[in-house]
Amino acid sequence: MNGICSIQNKKNATTFPGKSCLFFLLVIFFMLPPSLIFAQEEVKDLMNQSLEELLNIEVVTASQKSQKISDAPATVISYSAEQIRQFGWNDLKDIFKTLPGFDVSYENQGEIRTSVTMRGIVGNQKILVLQDGLRYNPTTGERVVYGHNTPLNIYKRIEIVYGPASALYGADAYSGVINLISNDGADVNGITVNTGYVSTNALNADVTFGKKIDDKTDFIISGRAYKGEDAKLDEDYSDYGDVVGKYSGTLGDVKKAYPVANWNLFTKLKYGAFTIGADWQHELETNAPTTIPSNYAYVENNVWGQDLRHIYVSYDKPLSDKANLQATVSAGDYEINPASNFYIVTNSAMSTGSPSYKYGYSGYVRGNVQSDFQLMDKVNVITGLSYEKVKSFPKTQNLNNGPFHLDGKLEDDLSMFVDSTGHTFGLTGLTEKKFGERNYYNFGYFLQGEIAALPNLSITLGGRFDYNSIYKETVNPRIGVVYKPAEKTSIKALFGSAYIAPSNYYRWENWANPFALHIPNLDIKPEKLTSLSLSVTQYIANNASIRAEVFQNNLKDVITPIAAGPQAGNKPYFNPIAISGKPYESFLVSPTGYFVEINANQGEITTKGFEIEGTYKFGNLLSGLSYSFIDGDDNGADLPKVSPHKIVFNTNYTNEQYSIALTGRYYSAVQTAKGNSMYAGKTFDGAFLLYFHATYNVTSVLTLKLSADNVLNTKSYASAPYGESIWIQPRAPQALRTVYIGIGANL
């Protein structure tokens, strides 16, 4: 546990002694107005509900309409705001450790922070994140960053849909969909405040105001800040510490820190049939973990930052008792913070280093129109179309002359990478010296019908057509059959398909350092997935349930970074800053002696497995236990970044005074990538990790909170991102015990 509690900005730094951090939080609390301390929203009483009532709630993400989980043609897990509070989940990343079928690796490099693999399908960009049904993650295909940047205090429910959903949502609804469904003002009905201290030396605070003003008008506004430091892995793991401790000279003088400086804003206004919403996610977190510290410095100014902004206006109104119309116009953008950089160690003595800055930008305007018709008693039809115009300036090269100038043109000058034959990076056919905007548009249309063929049998048929001005047409169908042979039994047979857009991020990605070169590839095709699954859910009396599911996913034309092959005539690639032949001679693919990487479509992957999940409710105690098995084939090798066996238990005891929750997560030895620099397609050990959270209601308004991640202080590793070689550690050390203490109040 770190002994300093700091709040910093660019001009000033205020430091509090470690023992004063709790005192600082108490001061904040006692400075709250008396009306805030002695009034609270009435605590939701879920204890008298049966397990079936708790679990079989209505969801909207599976079919874009409200229906019971047991009726939805998809595997769906839904968490309520009450469950989020009971388990102490602060950010979206915290939920992944509780879910069956997920491999999760925290404490990763800044563009990712948390790597998520869903049923053996690797890639944060392959899970589509929605907020109130609208796309939340970058429209141009950048990886979703799961750090301390997506607070959960503003959501009434989170729905996780397993399996492909491009038939409804288009590109990137690939391995699954997460829908963050926000509170209305009526759900808050006043002011909520939460603040707390994290033992890594960070402060977390949020405030939300919401109110239903009258029958037509409802309003909510929320802000959250998370500032301080993350776990100092170099103090806990020799994987980092043995190297970081040898920094000397000017590099050794730079502070060794893992900064976090995030804030979020969210607001939503409902007036009659209209809703206006906006949000801003600002993230700045360390860019160091999992990089090799002899190449990339573990220092405070090695950071990754980005901003996500969205605004929308929607109209949702019944046309009759059997038809509904919804129309939405939205706009937003994604921007890499100009301070983002990869801080490169510039000599073998590890005494000097310098930042290599990055920048990128994308913006969109999107229109959606959707109708829901009940054509007859047994037939429901949903249809809709969308049009999106995208402005895209892909991520730049490593900028060594300072941050990108935002007042200049969106253009990246790559003249220094043009070889003597006039080819940029020496890449045959690429003669552009400056990379600018790569704008495009996308049109989509979907149609879905649900037929109640029999009283206990429903069939869902649907599909979506997309036309993209870059990669042209894609078509994605879905079929879902839900059969209920008895009142408490549900059987689902599901088929779906999805695709990953060959986005500008992957087509134009380029970077260079003294050891490696990554070059663009304009010939990438969409990556495609087809999936089959069969599940059975059985409720046993009123206090127990069990779900069993088998699945298989087939991935084709998988987009992945690979070693670039030789060009015709053995024409060399060109990296003018390379240290020729060092230190990766064993990876030679170019006569100049450095590693050359490219994003490409690479063969086929199959993942398959099964999940068994049981839930039991006894009085105020609610417990769940799941086992997941995943196997498959990655172009002739075992699935990378995957633990074949995973066991998760979640248990919670709640009464009107307090709540105690435990999560245990076991994962077996983790499969590595074929090119792993240490394990070379083998495995490293898994682990068992324990998480704890407790809340205590001091008064009707005041709640104390205590959380501990990795309670047993277990040293453990998870999969590293990317190819696990060249510039990335072969495995990712995970944080040791982290404690959170906090206070919450409601008005």
Cα angle value 663/667/671 (rounded, 5°): 150
pLDDT band (50, 70, 90) for residue 590: very low
Structure tokens at 600: 């490409």
**Per-residue pLDDT tens digits for 655-684:** 989 999 999 999 999 999 888 888 887 899
Structure tokens at 362: 């994308």
Q: Residue 506: pLDDT above 80?
A: yes
Q: Residue 67: pLDDT above 60?
A: yes
Check if the beta carbon of residue 389 is closer than 8 Å to that of residue 365. yes
Q: Residue 170: pLDDT above 60?
A: yes
Q: Residue 614: pLDDT above 80?
A: yes
DSSP-assigned beta bridge partners for residue 559: 601
Q: Residue 245: pLDDT above 80?
A: yes
Q: What is the per-residue pLDDT for 30?
A: 37
Supply the CATH number for residue 723's domain: 2.40.170.20
The pTM of the full predicted model, rounded to 2 decimals, is: 0.91
Q: What is the per-residue pLDDT for 593?
A: 62
Query: 27 vs 599, which has greater pLDDT?
Result: 599
- In angstroms, the Cα distances linking 142 to 250, 361, 500, 518 are 34, 11, 11, 16
Mean pLDDT across the stretch 8-28?
37
**Per-residue pLDDT tens digits for 373-432:** 998 889 999 999 999 999 999 999 999 888 998 888 899 999 999 999 999 999 999 999
DSSP structure class, residue 41: P
Residue from 369, 392, 445 nearest 170 by CA = 445
Q: Would residue 730 be called left, alpha or beta, if left means φ above 0 and alpha means ψ between -120 and 50 degrees? A: alpha
Least confident of 91-95, 314-318, 681-685: 681-685
pLDDT band (50, 70, 90) for residue 47: low
Rg from Cα positions in the chain = 26
pLDDT band (50, 70, 90) for residue 1: very low
Alpha carbons within 13 angstroms on the beta-carbon side of residue 684 total 21
Mean pLDDT across the stretch 145-165?
96
pLDDT band (50, 70, 90) for residue 602: confident
- In angstroms, the Cα distances linking 143 to 128, 206, 367, 500, 643 are 10, 26, 24, 12, 22
Alpha carbons within 13 angstroms on the beta-carbon side of residue 94 total 27
Q: Please enumerate in sequence order all residues whose Cβ is within 8 A of that of 40, keeping only pairs 6 or more positions apart, or say none.
A: 699, 700, 701, 702, 745, 746, 747
Give the count of domains, the chain. 1
675 three-state secondary structure: coil
Query: 35 vs 204, which has greater pLDDT?
Result: 204
Q: Residue 8: pLDDT above 60?
A: no
Mean pLDDT across the stretch 692-704?
94
Residue from 159, 180, 178, 141 nearest 499 by CA = 141
**Per-residue pLDDT tens digits for 123-136:** 999 999 999 999 99
Q: Give the whole-angstrom CA distance, residue 265 versus residue 249.
A: 41
**Per-residue pLDDT tens digits for 648-662:** 999 999 998 999 999
DSSP-assigned beta bridge partners for residue 325: 317, 371
Q: Give the whole-angstrom CA distance, residue 433 versus residue 427.
A: 12
**Per-residue pLDDT tens digits for 617-645:** 988 999 999 999 999 999 888 899 999 99
Alpha carbons within 13 angstroms on the beta-carbon side of residue 114 total 21
Q: Give the whole-angstrom CA distance, residue 154 versus residue 161.
A: 20
Bond from prior residue into 455 cis (ω within 30 degrees of 0): no
Q: Give the whole-angstrom CA distance, residue 501 versus residue 526.
A: 5
Q: What is the per-residue pLDDT for 176?
A: 96
Query: 513 vs 470, which has greater pLDDT?
Result: 470
Check if the beta carbon of residue 744 is closer than 8 Å to that of residue 25. no
- In angstroms, the Cα distances linking 116 to 88, 103, 276 are 20, 6, 32
Strands 176-182 and 127-131: parallel
Q: Give the whole-angstrom CA distance, residue 61 versus residue 180.
A: 10
Q: Give the whole-angstrom CA distance, residue 532 versus residue 549.
A: 11
Residue from 211, 121, 135 nearest 174 by CA = 121
Check if the beta carbon of residue 447 is closer than 8 Å to that of residue 477. no
Residue from 419, 453, 447 nearest 433 by CA = 419
Mean pLDDT across the stretch 266-285?
97
Domain interval for residue 454: 4-746
Check if the beta carbon of residue 168 is closer than 8 Å to that of residue 63. yes
For the range 315-321, what are the long-range contacts, defined as Cβ-Cβ under 8 Å and sequence gap of 24 or more? 315/273, 315/274, 316/273, 316/275, 317/273, 319/371
Q: Give the whole-angstrom CA distance, residue 715 versus residue 712.
A: 9
What's the count of helices (H) and strands (E) in the chain, helices before strands? 10, 46
Average confidence score pLDDT of the chain: 89
pLDDT band (50, 70, 90) for residue 199: very high
Residue from 391, 396, 297 nearest 351 by CA = 297
Mean pLDDT across the stretch 285-303?
94
Least confident of 243-252, 300-309, 510-519: 510-519
Check if the beta carbon of residue 495 is closer than 8 Å to that of residue 531. yes
Q: Give the whole-angstrom CA distance, residue 496 versus residue 178.
A: 17
Check if the beta carbon of residue 212 is closer than 8 Å to that of residue 186. yes
Which amino acid, residue 734? Q
